[in-house]
Amino acid sequence: MGGRAAPGWIVNAAFNLDTRIEAVLDRFLPDPAQPPQTLHRAMRYSVLGGGKRYRPRLVYATGCLLGLPQTLLDYPAAAVELIHAYSLIHDDLPAMDDDDERRGKPSCHRAYNEATAILAGDALQTLAFEVMASIPRDGCHPESILRAVHALAEASGTQGLVGGQQLDLEAVSRPLELVELTEMHLRKTGALIRASILIPVLLAPDPGEVPIQHLTRLSRDLGLAFQIRDDILDATADAGTLGRKPGGDASHHRATFVTLLGLEEARNRLAHSIAQCREALSIFGPEAHPLRALVDDRAE
């Protein structure tokens, strides 16, 4: 399969995708001048002006492969990043990971206060579904939008991100087996990565059975690679690279792929997952170049 050229918008916008994502998020976030101003400022503080935007990039890249218009993809791209930002606010709270810094600046609960941070996370989560429900009906079938909303909800709930966070909290007091660690991160980290790839598939009018199978494989392997890479960085990178204090997992006595496998074997597992991702994309032509670049970004 392959030979279809990438849509012109992804080629022309590649250099300015950061600007595009920031503008889309700014458009969907509430006006900080409107009450409650403190809450709206806290939401914008936690979303804008930082982060690699990996999840919205996955949305745009998958949509590129499937030939979806950029204006349609703006909605799920913003929604997955809003969910991600909410999860980071709550992860940083004293009751969770108790981190004082995020993306090179004070965490939301440090910049404002703990109660405001909780509410900002709550508001970003609900805003994500408001954005998804606002996908224009003239560009997508209502049933497709409903399936996409359901996919984001599932990725965000007890079978996804929130459930994974609970498993993570419970794991602090006891040693984890590799299979348990993998299951936890397939939820906590992997579920939203998978949703970022699969939501454009659900919105596409006729993606085809074979592409769906390959993109489903990609979504699982990339989610795992993402977490292994993060664990390696937490063990080896400096604060400037991470945007937060390194070694946080070790200081909280949390199991990671590095602590369970050792650094060298964790790197081997990462290389294997990246190879699986590349294999999943091998059936596609140049239209998959943006996705391949995001896979390569996770490689060492």
Summary mean pLDDT of the chain: 90
Domain span at residue 293 reads 8-297
The answer to whether residue 1 is domain-embedded is: no
pLDDT at 2 over 80: no
The answer to whether residue 135 is domain-embedded is: yes
CA distance 22 to 125: 18
Report the number of distinct structural domains present in the chain: 1
Distance of CA 62 to the CA centre of its chain: 13
pLDDT score, position 84: 97
Question: pLDDT per residue over 57-89, tens digit each?
Answer: 999 999 999 999 999 999 999 999 999 999 999
Predicted TM-score (pTM) of the model is: 0.91
**Continuous segment of H or E residues that includes residue 78:** helix 70-92
Task: Find all residues with CB under 8 Å of 160, minimum gap 6, and list them.
Answer: 154, 187, 191, 192, 195
The answer to whether residue 283 is domain-embedded is: yes
Cβ atoms of 161 and 187 closer than 8 Å: yes
Residue located via tokens 């070694």: 247
Shortest CA distance to 240 belongs to which of 111, 103, 93, 95? 103
CA distance 120 to 67: 34
The answer to whether residue 3 is domain-embedded is: no
The answer to whether residue 54 is domain-embedded is: yes
The answer to whether residue 2 is domain-embedded is: no
Question: pLDDT per residue over 278-295, tens digit each?
Answer: 999 999 999 999 999 999
pLDDT at 248 over 60: no
pLDDT score, position 26: 98
Question: pLDDT per residue over 260-273, tens digit each?
Answer: 999 999 999 999 99
pLDDT at 241 over 80: no
The answer to whether residue 37 is domain-embedded is: yes
In this structure, what CATH number is given to the domain that contains residue 77?
1.10.600.10
Question: pLDDT per residue over 139-194, tens digit each?
Answer: 789 999 999 999 999 999 999 999 999 998 888 777 789 999 999 999 999 999 99
CA distance 147 to 200: 11
Of all residues in the chain, what percent carry a pLDDT higher than 90?
77
Question: pLDDT per residue over 19-61, tens digit each?
Answer: 999 999 999 999 999 999 999 999 999 999 888 999 999 999 9
The answer to whether residue 185 is domain-embedded is: yes
